[in-house]
Structure 1
Amino acid sequence: MISVYIDLAIGLVLAFLLLSLLVSGVNEAFVRLFGIRSKFLWAYLRDTLDGGPREGESWIPAKVADVFAKLPFSKDDPRPRHDPDPAPSVVEPVPVDPATVLAAEAPAPPVDMTGRLYERLQEIDHPKGTRTSIADIPPERFSGAMLELVAAEEGGIDGLLTKLEAIGSPLAGHLRGVWEGAQRDLGKFRKGVEAWFDGEMQRLSTLYRRYVKWVVFALGLALTLLLGMDALEYGKTLLRDNAYRAGVAAIAGGSQDGLSALKEKCAAAGAGEPYTCVTESFSSPALVKIFDHAIVSVTIPPDGSEDPSFHWNGGLWWERLISPGHWPGYLITVIALLFGASFWWDILRRLTGIRGRRP
């Protein structure tokens, strides 16, 4: 009896794992196609180095819907243009005279600090369109780029901070706090910049995952409805499949109690003899039938002599979709997909005893 429940658990977990992988694959394809990770990173760097595009605004949209509507399709791409050349050997100082700016009490001239940072990171870029594809910056590389910008200033770190404050860069406050905390020690300053940037990247990753959860929820809901994946109905199918196999095994062992029931099932299925019926049932387990209720189903011939055939199930699919009896199963499937493929893979390993590869 325990094996029945174990088979049920493994079947459900495997189904949720396959669907989660499908959701993750669609999401990853969307992210890579539109460069969402890279745009998200450089939107943050624009906010930190140059401030928002206009006063009071941010390059990263505040609303979840705007993040995945504005970042992928907006013409105002926050990423710098891709440059295949290596970083310039000579770093130009920040072209701002703080004394002149303060004396004139006029807005400081615009300085593209994000572009200046990209000049120091061109070696880790890969050609992918006209914009940079950098989606991850190691903290050590960021701190090294900051020191290269510092080396170009006459006053060193103090000179760079003064110019950043003159142009209104939000980075000035962060670097000044790190500089004072390092007690004006250059080695401690570099370590402090690394630690600060690493913390900012962790915070940014948390924010990105928070946005992605809503996308995963939307994709999971859409795929669940399109595939007609009712988790409760699928669980019942697994139990019936297990019971059928157990009955066939009992008949093969010499018991004739279930033979009449087997003949009735085969006759209802249209099979002429039990052997053909049993073969067809064993070759089409519950897992193979998981997508039978999708809006478009696929049938693969058992002998492989013909090409797979596609069938439009619009009528049956719509009846299942509007039937309240299937809604609890749909809801369970969507909730299960929110846990992600890694969660279900870990559960599957625990149930089956599969061990991960050791280093």
Structure 2
Amino acid sequence: MISVYIDLAIGLVLAFLLLSLLVSGINEAFVRLFGIRSKFLWAYLRDTMDGGPREGGSWIPEKIADVFAKLPFSKNDPRPRHDSEPAPPVIEPVPVDAAAALASDTPARPVDMTGRLYERLQEIDRPKAARTSIANIPPERFSGAMLELVSAEEGGVEGLIAKLEAIGSPLAGHLRGVWEGAQRDMVRFRQGVEAWFDGEMQRLSMLYRRYVKWVVFALGLVLTLLFSMDALEYGKTLLRDNAYRAAVAAIASDGDGASAALKDRCAGDGAGGAIDPYACVTESFSSPALVKIFDHAVVSVTIPPDGTEDPSFNWNGGVWWDRLITPGHWPGYLISVVALMFGSTFWWDILRRLTGIRGHRS
């Protein structure tokens, strides 16, 4: 009896794993195609180093619709333009007279600090499009780039911070806090910049995952309805499949005395003709419950058993719609959507625990 429930658990986990992988694959394809992760990072850098767009506000969208509907298609791309050349060997100082800018009533002319940062990072960029594809900046690389910018200023860290304050860069306050906390020691200053930037990247990742979970929910809901994946019904199918296989095993040991279940399943179309039990068993065993998981999708695929014919695609619109509007299937749909929210990593870990598969150890 325990093995029956283990088979049920493995079947359900495997089904959720396959659907979760499909959800993750669609989401990742969309993110990579439109460079959403890279745009999200450089939008944060624009806010931190340049203070947002000229019209005000923030480069980072606030709503989920803006992140996945506006950010991918916006002409106001926050990413710097891609440059295949190595970083310039000579670093120009920030072209701002800090004293004159602070004394004047007119603000200092804008300085593209994000572009200056990209100049120090463009070696790790890969040619993909007109804009940079950098989606991750190691903290030590960021701190190294900041030290390179510091070395170009006559006053060192103090000179760079003064010019950043003159142009109204939000980065000035962060660097001043790190500089004072490091007690004006360059080694500790670099370590402080690394720690600060690492913390910012963790916060940014949490914010990004908050948006992604709604996308995963939407994709999970759409796929669950398209494939008509009723988790409760699928669990019953797994139990029936296991019971049938147990009946076949009983026939092998007890002869015809345990063949009632097999005869019921192999009754054919009711025409009363002779049924070949071997063909019936072969057909049933070659189509386990896992293969039938998507039989109720709006479009199902049938693969011939002999492999000599091409797969056939069947339109199940009528049956699919009837299942969709049947309240009895809604609890199973809800369970499927909630299960997909855990992600493929979660279900893979559960599958490894149930089957005893060990991960690769280096």
Give the TM-score taking structure 2 as reference length: 0.97
SS at match of 1:72: coil
Q: Which residue does 1:178 correspond to in 2? A: 178
**Pairs aligned (count):** 359
Task: Give the drift of 1:54.
Answer: 3.6
Alignment RMSD: 1.2
Q: CA deviation at 1:45?
A: 0.2
Same amino acid, percent of matched pairs: 82
Q: Which amino acid aligns with 2:329?
A: H
**How far apart are the structure 2 equivalents of 1:158 and 1:48?**
18
Cross-structure match for 1:33:
33
1:281 is aligned, of 284, 299, 319, to: 284
Residues 1:345 and 2:348 are matched in the alignment: yes
Alignment of 1:264-303 (within 5 A): 264-268=264-268, 272-303=275-306
Measure the CA separation in 1 of the matches of 2:102 and 2:88: 31
User: How far is the alpha carbon of 1:55 from its aligned partner?
Assistant: 5.8
Correspondence for 1:68: 68
Q: Does 1:120 align with 2:120?
A: yes
Pairing 1:12-161 to 2, within 5 Å after superposition: 12-54=12-54, 56-161=56-161
Query: Structure 1, unaligned stretches of length 5 or more?
Result: none
Q: What residue in structure 2 maps to residue 11 of structure 1?
A: 11
Deviates more, 1:102-111 or 1:124-133: 102-111
| SS of residue matched to 1:302 | coil
Q: Secondary structure at the match of 2:77?
A: coil
Deviations 1:185-217 (A, max 9, x none): 111101100110011011111111111111111
Q: State the SS of the aligned residue for 2:222.
A: helix
Q: Distance in 1 between matches of 2:304 and 2:338?
A: 34
Specify the SS of the correspondent of 2:236: helix
Greater shift after overlay, 96-105 or 28-37?
96-105
Q: Distance in 2 between matches of 1:269 and 1:163?
A: 85
Residue of structure 1 in register with 2:329 after alignment: 326
What is the SS of the residue equivalent to 1:311?
strand
> What letter matches 1:83 in structure 2?
D
Note the 1:203-242 alignment, pairs <5 A: 203-242=203-242
Instruction: Using the TM superposition, give the Cα deviation of residue 150 of structure 1 relative to its aligned residue in structure 2, in angstroms.
Output: 0.7
Change (3 A) 1:272 1:53: same
Report whether the alignment pairs 1:313 with 2:313: no
Return the offset for 1:269: 5.1
TM-score (norm 1): 0.98
Using a 3 Å threshold, how does the CA distance of structure 1 residues 37 and 269 change in structure 2: closer, same or farther? farther
More displaced 10-residue stretch of structure 1: 171-180 or 249-258: 249-258
Amino acid at match of 1:102: L
Give the whole-Å Cα distance in 2 for the aligned partners of 1:103 and 1:263.
96
Whole-angstrom distance in 2 between the partners of 1:286 and 1:261: 17
CA shift at 1:258, angstroms? 3.4
Shift of 1:100: 1.9
Moved more, 101-110 or 329-338: 101-110
C-alpha displacement of 1:321: 0.6
Q: Deviations over 1:283-336 (max 9, x none)?
A: 000000001011110000111001111011111111111110000000000000
Q: How far did residue 358 of structure 1 move? A: 1.8
